[in-house]
Amino acid sequence: MTGPDGAEALVALDSRPPAACTLGATSFYGSALRYARLLPDGRGCSGLGVSEVQGMVAFDAPATFGLERQPDGTVHLTTDTGAALEAAWLSSPFTRVEARTLAGAWEGVPNCAGEVVRAWRPRTERQLIEFRFR
List pLDDT tens digits, range 28-50. Answer: 999 889 999 999 989 999 999 99
- Quote the number of domains for the chain: 1
Specify if 124 maps to a domain: yes
Mean per-residue pLDDT, 55-82: 96
Specify if 52 maps to a domain: yes
Return the number of other C-beta atoms located less than 10 Å from residue 13's C-beta: 7
**In this structure, are residues 31 and 21 in contact, taking their beta carbons and an 8 Å threshold?**
no
pTM above 0.85, yes or no: yes
Residues spanned by the domain of 79: 8-133
**In this structure, are residues 80 and 117 in contact, taking their beta carbons and an 8 Å threshold?**
yes
Specify if 1 maps to a domain: no
